[in-house]
Amino acid sequence: MTKIIAMAGKGGVGKTTISALLINYLLAKGQTPILAVDADANANLNELLGLTVGLTIGQVRKELKGDMPPNITRDQYMEMKVHQALVEAKGFDLLTMGQPDGPGCYCAANQHLAMTMDHLAGNYRYILVDNEAGMEHLSRMNLRTIDYFFVISDPSARGILTAKRIAELTGPLRIEVKKQCLVVNRVPEPASPELMARINEAVSSADLPLGGLLPASPELVDQELAGRSYLKLDASVPVVAKAFAIFDQFLN
């Protein structure tokens, strides 16, 4: 059975960073194949993975609003285009959703996308979705169940409040979450009592167990500035080791 992993949190908290570290972890553990879905309009997961994106699902949806080539249905066209949009790498593929929809109704296009994602899902052990703050893309891809839900925050009151609200949104959206946790990123060491009080309040009131705290990391900054893939980071790097420990505990 394909397992669905999703990331959520307000903008700028490090969802993409943790997604890249999680792909590194799954590859190291041999938990492949993986489909990584970059569902953030500001798509940059590919940069942290050392990949180049040519075609996005946003571009495909726009094409679906026009005339189809002869002798092909819209379902067949969407399936063909989704496969063209897949960036293949060793042990995983990357699919980038791209910019949000423009004017007009995309209901039919999203329905075709959901059907294609259903067919695609069976090819992977894990599907990892790096989300925007909202969770509309999960609905569009027809992912009604999340096996592992990482809610990411930075060490700020707004970040933790947003994390709490996101955890509470899954019920109204009718998304079944089997297991969820809060990860607070870029935490000063030691964490202040005020920060821990905020975290503990969110954890207790939103049924959102604390997965762990990740420190700010000069190694991650250096890796990104140099344009090097996070997949090349060794498990001995302190922030990578701490992330792997969180993943070990949460996924097993």
The pLDDT value recorded for residue 112 is 60
Strand partners, 184: 153, 213
Across 13-82, the runs of DSSP E, i.e. the strands, are: 34-38
Cα–Cα distance measured from residue 166 to residue 106, given in angstroms and rounded to the nearest whole number: 25
Please provide the distance, in angstroms rounded to a whole number, between the alpha carbons at the two ends of the chain: 15
Closest CA to 206 of 214, 198, 216: 198
Q: How many CB atoms lie within 10 A of CB 234?
A: 10
User: Which residues, in sequence order, are CB contacts of 121 under 8 Å at separation 6+?
Assistant: 2, 35, 127
The pLDDT value recorded for residue 133 is 63
CATH of domain 3-251: 3.40.50.300
Closest CA to 124 of 105, 140, 147: 147
Cα–Cα distance measured from residue 148 to residue 7, given in angstroms and rounded to the nearest whole number: 9
The residue behind tokens 């964490």 is 191
The pLDDT value recorded for residue 39 is 83
Strand partners, 149: 6, 180
The pLDDT value recorded for residue 144 is 78
Angle between helices 57-64 and 107-121 (to 10 degrees): 130
The residue behind tokens 């042990």 is 91
Closest CA to 32 of 19, 21, 23: 23
Closest CA to 184 of 206, 161, 165, 168: 161
Structure tokens at 212: 């762990």
Hey, CA dihedral for 132, 136, 140, 145, is it positive or negative?
positive
Cα–Cα distance measured from residue 183 to residue 160, given in angstroms and rounded to the nearest whole number: 10
Closest CA to 137 of 18, 15, 14, 32: 15
Instruction: Give me the torsion for CA of 37, 97, 213, 232, rounded to 10°.
Output: 60
The residue behind tokens 């039919």 is 108
Residue pLDDT tens, the chain, 252 long: 899 999 999 889 999 999 999 999 999 999 999 999 988 777 899 999 999 999 988 888 788 777 888 888 888 888 898 899 999 999 999 998 877 555 555 455 566 667 777 778 889 999 999 987 656 656 555 567 899 999 999 999 999 999 998 888 887 878 899 999 999 999 999 999 999 999 999 999 998 999 999 999 999 999 999 999 999 999 999 999 999 999 999 998
DSSP 81: H
The pLDDT value recorded for residue 62 is 80
